[in-house]
Amino acid sequence: MLEKYDEIVLKPRYGYGGRGISKTDNLSDIESVDEEEYIIQKLVTTEGMPSFDVGGYHDLRIVLINDEMVNAYIREPSEGFRSNVDQGGSLNYVDISSVPHEVKEIVREVDRKIEVDKPRLYSVDFMINDNQEPKIMELNSKPAVYCFKPVKQAEIEKPLIEELFKQMKHYLDDF
């Protein structure tokens, strides 16, 4: 990867909350990395998302319950490149209708590939690169629901939690 790209990102395969994620441009930093324990990605450079008044590093998370996009938010780092709220990043909800069409199309394509798994709650995390193209950073099988954190916005989170319980009940009733 470092032969092909100037800088890469190392992510623990089973991590959460941005813990253990680092970036490097130095081969000696990764010589001892266990490929079974880490995911190595190209570092996506970004000038942000001008349509959302976001400059620099960020991610756009789309949360799905089964095949429905139920929530979207942009996370920005307080410093560095990790935008996780657990790492001090900010969270700003955006209306699903304002999510770029290209992002929605990619989300639909991803969902078609995993639609046999029900019930499902997951997210697709994007960055918008320097050319304003969406790039998938990861799929998250346990996206945070901020019901007990300072970023809580009851009018947004409560319907999400209610829908999640409704869907779970529906599938448990059929079990």
Residue pair 3/44 in contact by the 8 Å Cβ criterion: no
Neighbours of 104 (CB within 10 A): 16
- At 99 the pLDDT is 96
Identify the structural domains of the chain with CATH numbers, from first to last: 1-43 (no CATH), 46-173 (3.30.470.20)
pLDDT over threshold 80, residue 161: no
According to the per-residue pLDDT averaged within each range, which of 41-45, 88-92, 134-138 is highest?
134-138
Diameter over CA atoms, the chain: 54
- Residue 13: which H helix or E strand, with range? none
* pLDDT greater at residue 102 or residue 153: 102
What integer pLDDT is reported at residue 111 of this predicted model?
95
Q: How far is CA 67 from CA 75, 122, 174, in A?
A: 23, 10, 18
| CA 107 to each of CA 12, 30, 90, 125: distance values in angstroms, whole numbers, following the listed order | 23, 31, 23, 10
Determine the residue type at 29: D
Q: Report whether pLDDT(145) > 80.
A: no
CB 103 within 8 A of CB 110: no
> What tokens were used for 84?
């996780």
d(CA 115, CA 9) in angstroms, rounded, equals 29
Residue 68 has pLDDT above 70, yes or no: yes
Which pLDDT value is given to residue 152?
59
pLDDT at 126 over 90: yes
- For the ranges 7-11, 52-56, 145-149, 171-175, the lowest mean pLDDT is seen at 145-149
Task: Judge whether residue 55 has pLDDT over 70.
Answer: yes
Q: Is residue 155 scored above 60 in pLDDT?
A: yes
